[in-house]
Amino acid sequence: MVVRVARRQSCAFAFRTYLIIMARFKIWSNTAEFMSLEDIRPAAMADLHAYWKGAVGDDGPPRQKDISIQGMPPECLEHIALLDFTNPPTKAKYLIIGSALKKLLGADPTGQYIHDVYPESIYTEIHAAFAKAAHQHEALYFRREFQVLNKSFGYDRLIMPLRLDGPTIRRILICIYPLDPKLTSANQWQDEVAKLEDMERRERRFESAWAESLGYKMVTAEDENAADEEDLDDAEVLHLTDPFTEIDDPSGPRKSM
């Protein structure tokens, strides 16, 4: 992006915008961290890890054939997924996914690659976590939590690498439980994500308004092309709008320099 100077006489407009956003919303945040395997919860997930750990041999993580559905805690079966995995982790594909995870996802991704199911920011994090487990030949326990307004939601995820017959990690067994047991379907978290996305859009619009109030205008490549076509000779008119009410700035349009 190109920064173009655009003089403003005061910060009143941006300050008013700041008051609006602070009055309407509380700050949201999200945390993501790897946790100690000793702190795994719920109990069914801890039991699954104990089962996986019991199959670890001198030559590395368990082979897929060393793990059986019958040996897993029955309470966690609907919360597990098995993925085909390549290392480096350019691809990971769902082979099996439990019913509870399908309901949480709102779809059945069996046979699909992770990068076809999730947006880039999410599948990049997933691939990195899988690669870490594969490289270390160890299980990893991961927690992610979101705070939106007065609500909190998130999940615990256990990642367990598996081999086929050779030494290379070719399967990833995961188990996921929502932090809130009442969170059972996609529409519940999708509503919260929609709120996050809306807040992000408002934040970007606020930042743009704030920059303009300080004398800067963020101009995209499309704006530059339009300006060239109109032959404005750096005399572009800025039409400012309140990013929350969509009401025009009463001080009227400003010209950039």
pLDDT tens digits, one per residue of 96-146: 999 999 999 999 999 999 999 988 878 888 999 999 999 999 999 999 887
For the purposes of burial, counting CB atoms within 10 Å of the CB of 163, is it exposed (0-12), middle (13-18) or buried (19 or more)?
A: buried
Residue 34 pairs in a beta bridge with 142
SS (H, E, C) 179-195: CCCCCCCHHHHHHHHHH
**What is the Cα–Cα distance from 97 to 82, expressed in whole angstroms?**
6
**What is the Cα–Cα distance from 91 to 68, expressed in whole angstroms?**
24
Residues of the chain where predicted confidence (pLDDT) is lower than 70: 1-32, 87-89, 147-151, 192-193, 196, 217-257
Q: What sign results for the dihedral spanned by CA atoms 247, 249, 250, 255?
A: negative
Instruction: State if pTM tops 0.85.
Output: no
The alpha-helical segments, DSSP class H, found in the chain are 12-24, 43-54, 99-105, 114-117, 120-136, 186-213, 221-230
Which contacts qualify for 117-126: CB closer than 8 Å, 24 or more apart? 125/32, 126/92
Residue where the block lists tokens 């009442």: 182
> In this structure, which CATH number among 3.40.50.1220, 3.30.450.20, 3.40.640.10, 3.40.50.720 belongs to the domain 29-184?
3.30.450.20
The pLDDT, as a whole number, for residue 199 is 74
**What is the Cα–Cα distance from 53 to 74, expressed in whole angstroms?**
17
The pLDDT, as a whole number, for residue 89 is 61
The pLDDT, as a whole number, for residue 228 is 57
The backbone region for 169, taken as left when phi is positive above 0, alpha when psi lies in -120 to 50, beta otherwise, is beta
Residue where the block lists tokens 């996050």: 196
The pLDDT, as a whole number, for residue 195 is 72
The pLDDT, as a whole number, for residue 154 is 84
Q: What sign results for the dihedral spanned by CA atoms 37, 90, 58, 54?
A: positive
Segments making up each domain of the chain, as ranges = 2-25+191-255, 29-184
